[in-house]
Amino acid sequence: MIRFLHTADWQIGTQFGQFEPDEAAHLAEARFETVRRIAEEATARKVDAVLVAGDVFDQQTVSDTVIRRLFGALQAFSGVWIMLPGNHDAALVESVWTRAQRLNCIAPNVRVVLEPGVVLLDASRCAVLSAPLTQRITYDDTTAFFDAAETPPGYCRVGLAHGSVSGILQEGIDSSNPIAPTRAASARLDYLALGDWHGRYRVDERTWYAGTHEQDRFRANDPGFMLDVTLTEPGALPVVEAVRVGKYQWQRWEEVISVPTDVDALKARLAVLGAADVLRLVVSGTAALAEAEALHVAVEEARARVRALRAELGGLQVLPTAGDLAELGAQSGYLAKVVARLRGLQEDPQADPQQLKRAAEALLLLARLQRELPREARSA
């Protein structure tokens, strides 16, 4: 019997350039924190090994400090780690792995597999058939040798690879490295541990993607897990438990505003977000000036609570009502002409998105400036 954790796609060193620097720093740090959580869970669950199915690092050029920190994060588990190079950290002649070796930061219990072969875990009577990527993109199935690979009698056969199962994950795959969908059966594997797809995914009863341990994209494909796998004996079906370990949950909301209650509903949803949330918000539709202002305030208040927020509000047309205009003193005169011009830009069917965005922003800025004036000083 063997019990192990299956994880993958840590992408240590990811930069998160789409966010503000302070937000990006927290997101990058979370990837280390969750590795430490995996190590702690491995110890608490008394597993025999942790299998990391590729893309431990996001790129070959991460700093020496990042390399040292990653291997330091493994210390909470003194059992066996088996780490596989993927397409982002392929086992090139000179790679992040050879740098780690020169830094002498790889502990004796960590086995980095730089060449295809079989790693024997004799204490657990398990053979790990390992297919590291030795270049970023391959067009041959690196797991093909599994079929003929010999392992000791009575040992469980576990495959470890990084790539795309052909015909299963075509949309948005991270690399083109193909893996036959029948590999577990043809190679007589008890379990095939895969990396590359950033969400937890069951290909068949013996073939699984663990997904990234810490979500890194606005895609609802079940990220943020590790898999706790038990093999009772060779030939038995694996018992797989998905364990959530991720710190942050990324969400993408696309909201269309048509009536004031849509704004109220969105404000209520924003109000319950907290420090564990990363949000991308895309808003379109139309709103009166007062509702648009209230929504902008709600977004900025949410920004102060969540871990990271990207808000795209340029698709929201701001259409001041008669009440809005009266409140701002913009019913006549020069200010009324400015507001009419901005509204005209928003209603122009030939306007480009940037023009619409600038018009909405200008209306909101104008409203804020007017509200800061004493009522008697507002334009009339």
* Angle ∠(136,141,147) on CA atoms, nearest 5: 140
Whether 282 and 327 map to the same domain: the answer is yes
Query: Structure pTM?
Result: 0.86
Token code pair at residue 129: 């058939």
Residues 288 and 197 in one domain: no
Q: Facing residues of 130 across strands?
A: 117, 160
Can you tell me which residue has the tokens 């270049």? 135
> 256 and 232, same structural domain?
no
By CB atoms closer than 10 A (0-12, 13-18, 19+), residue 81 is: buried
Residues 272 and 226 in one domain: no
Whether residue 319 sits in one domain with residue 299: yes
* Same domain assignment for residues 11 and 101: yes
Report the CATH number at residue 23: 3.60.21.10
Q: From first to last of its 380 residues, what are the pLDDT tens digits of the chain?
A: 999 999 999 999 999 999 999 999 999 999 999 999 999 999 999 999 999 999 999 999 999 999 999 999 999 999 999 999 999 999 999 999 999 999 999 999 999 999 999 999 999 999 999 999 999 988 899 999 999 999 999 999 999 999 999 887 655 554 579 999 999 999 999 999 999 999 999 999 999 999 999 999 998 889 999 999 999 999 999 999 999 999 999 999 999 999 999 999 999 999 999 999 999 999 999 888 888 889 989 999 999 999 999 999 888 888 776 565 556 555 555 556 666 666 666 666 666 666 666 766 666 666 665 555 455 544 54
**Structural domain boundaries, residue 333:** 249-377
Please tell me whether residues 298 and 163 are part of one structural domain.
no
* The last residue of a domain, from among 210, 244, 278: 244
Instruction: Identify the three-state secondary structure at position 368.
Output: helix
Do 320 and 266 share a structural domain?
yes
Residues 44 and 131 in one domain: yes
One-letter amino acid at 249 equals Q
List Cα–Cα distances, 316 to 77, 82, 365, in angstroms. 51, 50, 15
| Residue 363: partners with Cβ closer than 8 Å, 6 or more residues away | 289, 292, 318, 320, 339, 342, 343
Domain boundary among 216, 244, 272: 244
Please choose, from the candidates 366, 317, 316, 314, the residue with its C-alpha nearest in 3D space to the C-alpha of residue 346: 317
Q: Are residues 176 and 302 in the same domain?
A: no
The tally of domains found in the chain comes to 2
156 and 67 share one domain: yes
Among 190, 210, 244, residue at a domain's last position:
244
Angle at 366 between CA 333 and CA 285, to 5 degrees: 110
H/E stretch holding 192 reads strand 191-195
Give 271's contacts (C-beta < 8 A, 6+ positions apart).
298, 301, 302
Return d(Cα 228, Cα 341) in angstroms, integer.
61
Tell me: do 267 and 231 sit in the same domain: no
